[in-house]
Chain A
Amino acid sequence: MAAMTMIEKILARTGGKSSVRPGEIVECRPDMVVGLDLPISTDGGWYRPKKIFDPDRVALIFDHSVPAPSIKDATGMVEGRRFAKEFKLKHFFDVGQHGICHVILAENGLARPGELLVCADSHTCASGALNCAGRGAGLMDTLQAMTKGVIWYPVTPSVRYNFTGVMPPQVSGKDVFFHIAQEYGGHTNTSVEFGGPGLKDMPMSDRRTIATMCAEISAEFALFEYDQVTAEYLRDRLDRPPTPVAPDAGAEYLEVRTIDLAALEPYVVMPDAVPNNAKRISQFKEKVRIDQAFIGSCANGKIEDLRAAANIVRGRKVAPGVRLLITPGSQAVHIQAVQEGLVETLLKAGAVVTNSTCGACFGGHMGVLAAGEVCITASTRNFKGRMGSAEARIYMGSPATVAASALTGVITDPRTVCA
């Protein structure tokens, strides 16, 4: 049998084939399908299903607009609850059990190694950190997967990234991703695989950030190899044994690239686009004054991100005229942040800690920008108009860079404010 990459193996299994090759389109049977609140409350986004393919394999998660900021959102969530009840969904995360879907899926063991996950949110590639194949689907694609249990994917070539070395202090998975986006640009029609000798020292938190952000380089799937770190993270979370995939020895790649993690430094991404739009912070000489600093989203709402921010602002104050907003990725992260004292540290520094939601990241609520304002964000994207006014400017950085910038009021290298 032909040697396969990780994604080829998952598409072959779920497509009922012994092997697949780039260029094919495969019709697959998903292992898990995830619905969200926003499509239901958006006109044209939801056609009531008459049947679903498996109530144990369809999840509904409220995340984008939680708690409801408008009557329309509130009404949409009434419909969501009705749907969950009608079909007796096994996995329903209502307000109170909520969180950003990709965080909820990881925490609750629903993004399982070797499996195929369907969700209409573009950051579904987040599941790749756990060796689970996911990529954003369309609203109607997702409805088809939910009802009929079928979804098509093109089999694309893969680029393989091998990590070596260990990340220096104040360099995070976000900076690793920015480095890849800067050096190699867009990855349209290409899946990415991550492995190599440096992987063993890369915490799950950084892997989750990198996998999530691969949507921003237009990668198809973004899969990390399964290892001890994955197994450790998933301990006591899974309700069935994992079926991880590993690449075959002779698997073919478009290219194999090595990333020396030890040589990296923090990056800043300029407004409006992510690919080929970053600068190493030591080369970033402009003095950019900020109005808002945001840390949150599926990419950076993890407990490790909140710790990074708290460690920088502890005992200090956010600069006058600057708003520092922190949004935990889930209720579980929020509770842990309270237990660890991070929320108190952040609040005393002058930050606002919000409820868990997609919120400010997509310009939905709780942190929308006005015309002329400048934001540095540790979230997913920096598109014009993304976080509110199309006349606002959005820079991107790691949680540490964002926290450091909030203290000084200008975009700042976190290594210069750390004790």
Chain B
Amino acid sequence: MPHVVEGRVWKFGDNINTDLIYPNTAFRAPEAQQYKLTFSANRPGWVDQVRPGDLLVGGLNFGMGSGRPSGKVLRECGIAGVVAETLNGLCLRNCVVSALPAMQCKGVSGLFEEGDIARFDFSSGLVTNVTRKRSLQGEAVAPLLLDIVAAGGVLPMLVREGYVEATAYVASAR
């Protein structure tokens, strides 16, 4: 099944890590508030500017660091797809399990200016700058992973198959 997204580009540089995407203060925040802390250390105010369907272009080592649910909060911010020069493997996992498609594309930083309109085809790997009419070939996402994205991520699958309860456990703070 083809998986194509089109939207406005936000550019981030090299070495964007999980502590920037999901700061340690997010561990103690209610689930619905966690995404509001995304990029608060390096780009305060961004969560109020990003709109549903926007796309993220990253540099080298995007998503390096920990197992924090980076894909989940980026998706909750409104991001519909991620393409980076190089993508940390754990970040890729965390994007896929949260139904946020992500892939690598060498040279992608130079393909876009912030605010350009991009088209990411995760099935073929083609990355297009719609605004400036130019494109690059990235690394397509494996069909098995796109199936997980299409299913809405891992959690709905586990719920549907009867492995876990349908609502999250919430540890009381009082």
Query: Whole-angstrom distance between the alpha carbons of A384 and B19 in the complex?
Result: 7
Count of chain A residues with a beta carbon within 8 Å of a chain B beta carbon: 60
User: Is A253's beta carbon under 8 Å from chain B?
Assistant: no
User: Is B1's beta carbon under 8 Å from chain A?
Assistant: no
User: Is B136's beta carbon under 8 Å from chain A?
Assistant: no
- Binary contact track B63-90/A, C-beta < 8 Å → 1, others 0: 0111101011000000000000011111
**A122-B24 contact in complex given A140-B98, A147-B164, A188-B89, C-beta closer than 8 Å:** no
Interface residues of A in 36-53 (CB under 8 A from B): 38, 40-51
User: Contact between B41 and A38 (Cβ–Cβ < 8 Å)?
Assistant: no
By a CB distance below 8 angstroms, the chain B residues around A273 are: 14-15, 17, 61, 64
User: Contact between A143 and B158 (Cβ–Cβ < 8 Å)?
Assistant: yes
The distance from the CB of A179 to the nearest CB of chain B, in whole angstroms, is 18
User: Is B137's beta carbon under 8 Å from chain A?
Assistant: no
User: Contact between B19 and A70 (Cβ–Cβ < 8 Å)?
Assistant: no
By a CB distance below 8 angstroms, the chain B residues around A38 are: 27
Query: Whole-angstrom distance between the alpha carbons of A316 and B162 in the complex?
Result: 60
The 8 Å CB contact of A79, one of B27, B89, B142, B171, is B171
The distance from the CB of A15 to the nearest CB of chain B, in whole angstroms, is 12
**A48-B164 contact in complex given A72-B172, A216-B64, A386-B19, C-beta closer than 8 Å:** yes
Closest B residue to A74 by beta carbon equals: B171
User: Is A139's beta carbon under 8 Å from chain B?
Assistant: yes
User: Contact between B155 and A135 (Cβ–Cβ < 8 Å)?
Assistant: no
User: Contact between A144 and B90 (Cβ–Cβ < 8 Å)?
Assistant: no
Query: Whole-angstrom distance between the alpha carbons of A49 and B163 in the complex?
Result: 6
By a CB distance below 8 angstroms, the chain A residues around B155 are: 47, 140, 143
By a CB distance below 8 angstroms, the chain A residues around B29 are: 43
User: Is B110's beta carbon under 8 Å from chain A?
Assistant: no
Closest A residue to B148 by beta carbon equals: A152
Query: Whole-angstrom distance between the alpha carbons of A157 and B82 in the complex?
Result: 23
User: Is A272's beta carbon under 8 Å from chain B?
Assistant: yes
User: Is B174's beta carbon under 8 Å from chain A?
Assistant: yes
User: Contact between A42 and B24 (Cβ–Cβ < 8 Å)?
Assistant: no
By a CB distance below 8 angstroms, the chain A residues around B64 are: 186, 216, 218, 273-275
By a CB distance below 8 angstroms, the chain A residues around B173 are: 70-72, 75
User: Contact between B17 and A25 (Cβ–Cβ < 8 Å)?
Assistant: no
User: Contact between B158 and A44 (Cβ–Cβ < 8 Å)?
Assistant: no
**A188-B171 contact in complex given A43-B34, A152-B144, C-beta closer than 8 Å:** no
The distance from the CB of A56 to the nearest CB of chain B, in whole angstroms, is 18
**A138-B97 contact in complex given A44-B34, A122-B67, C-beta closer than 8 Å:** yes
Query: Whole-angstrom distance between the alpha carbons of A381 and B64 in the complex?
Result: 11
Query: Whole-angstrom distance between the alpha carbons of A140 and B20 in the complex?
Result: 21
The distance from the CB of A302 to the nearest CB of chain B, in whole angstroms, is 21
User: Is A99's beta carbon under 8 Å from chain B?
Assistant: no
User: Contact between B164 and A218 (Cβ–Cβ < 8 Å)?
Assistant: no
User: Is B165's beta carbon under 8 Å from chain A?
Assistant: yes
**A135-B90 contact in complex given A51-B163, A122-B67, C-beta closer than 8 Å:** yes
Known: A79-B169, A384-B20, A384-B42. 8 other contacts (CB 8 A): A75-B172, A152-B145, A186-B64, A216-B64, A218-B61, A273-B15, A275-B64, A384-B17
